Copies of this chain bind each other. A is one copy, B any other.
Amino acid sequence: MARFPETSSSSRERARQSVTLQDIAAHAGVSRSTVSLVLRDSPLVADATRTRVQASIKALGYVYNRGAAALRASRTFTLGVVVYDIANPFFGAMVAGIDSVLHRENYVSFLANSEDSPERQQRFLERMREQRVDGLLLCPAEGTDPALLTQLVDWNMPCVQVLRHIGTPPFDYASTDFELGVRQAVDHLVTLGHRRIVFLGGDARHSATQARHRGYHEAMRAHSLDDVHRVIRGAVTRRAGFDAVQHLMQESPRPTAVICHNDLMALGVMLGLQRLGLVPGEDCAVVGTDDIEEAALSMPALTSVATHPYAIGEEAARLAMRRIANPDGAREQVVLTPRLQVRHSCAPIPTPEKTSYRRYPHATLDA
């Protein structure tokens, strides 16, 4: 692979060896240091020199060696990003948001999919330390030991938690107010006349699930519906939604509305209702969370709490940039406000004098 040096190790003579600062310096008639300053856009160098050096860089086809730079400098302009399920479209959108910000900032990111395994996550984080990334964006895997946070502090590694969080404040965090989101959903349903409202999903002990449950309980209490409040724990997949609703609808009196941990579940619930010969939205109102693209497409179109994954990704990345620029600044929590996207999956409870006026909502792609 590496060619045997022909006679001497004179930098001029090496065949296709890589071009270094030294070579540029010789070509432009300046010192290594000056070239280095030009590469880093330092204001110290005179314009004429800068132009000349840049010409030499282009002429010799120089390639900056980030490894060498990293060895001496404190920053690497790299970041580590950990999500637990990249196949979930929610995270796809979030990563797109992260990427857009990092691109503007000349940063580049390592991505890992922890599959909700703390061990796998830990291994990746250690690798990131070896790579000397400037910081981390972390959606902590289910069951992550809160001690991880102090470990990262020991490592002197900036970390922005995203969506979920472990440990206790202060820490950097970017997410959506899931609690508020669920409250909005309950309020909406109550306004439509619903009372027997079930919250579906969320086995996990992590913060994002807890916040949803808290929002549900509080909203139900605020409407004096403590007696009918009901949380069904379990997985948060399409299949789980499909199955859960089968059981739910056999009860009597049966719920008139379900709020789901995420949209995938909600879509599963709607399918489950159809399987039972029921009309989603009419026979049982359904609200999802996230407002993924598919929500607008379902029949009927799904009412969902929009959590704006792309924006969360952007905010998280921006917060990381701030923290890297100012490592000792006060920790920040950027919590976006969700918005209830009302579509057609929640009909009002028919009152005696008012019959269901619309048997099937219109198909639409709007909103």
Contacts and interface: CB of A to CB of B under 8 A. Distances in A.
Contact of A130 (B64, B127, B294): B64
Contact of A297 (B63, B91, B120, B268): B268
Interface string A76-103: 1010010001111101110110011001
A180 to B, nearest CB: 25
Contacts of A129: 63
A267 to B, nearest CB: 6
Question: Which residue among A88, A91, A108, A112 has the maximum number of chain B CB atoms within 10 Å of its CB?
Answer: A108
Interface string A59-86: 0000111111011001010100100011
B87 A112 contact: no
A297 B238 contact: yes
A363 B275 contact: yes
Nearest to A64: B130
A109 interface: yes
A96 B272 CA distance: 28
Interface in A311-367: 362-365
B239 A365 contact: yes
B113 A127 contact: no
Contacts of A207: none
A306 interface: no
Contact of A110 (B2, B64, B108, B297): B108
A22 interface: no
Contacts of A239: 365
Interface string A1-24: 110000000000000000000000
Question: Which residue among A67, A109, A272 has the maximum number of chain B CB atoms within 10 Å of its CB?
Answer: A67
Contacts of A65: 71, 130, 132
A274 interface: yes
B67 A71 contact: yes
A18 to B, nearest CB: 10
Given A65-B130, A67-B70, A238-B297, A112 B99 contact: yes
A310 to B, nearest CB: 8
Given A89-B89, A99-B113, 10 more contacts: A66-B131, A67-B68, A86-B92, A87-B310, A99-B112, A103-B112, A110-B111, A271-B365, A275-B363, A297-B298
Interface of A: 1-2, 63-68, 70-71, 74, 76, 78, 81, 85-89, 91-93, 95-96, 99-100, 103, 108-113, 120, 124, 127-132, 238-239, 242, 267-268, 271-272, 274-275, 293-294, 297-299, 310, 362-365
Nearest 8 Cβ contacts at the A-B interface? A67-B70, A274-B363, A111-B111, A275-B363, A92-B92, A87-B92, A99-B113, A89-B89
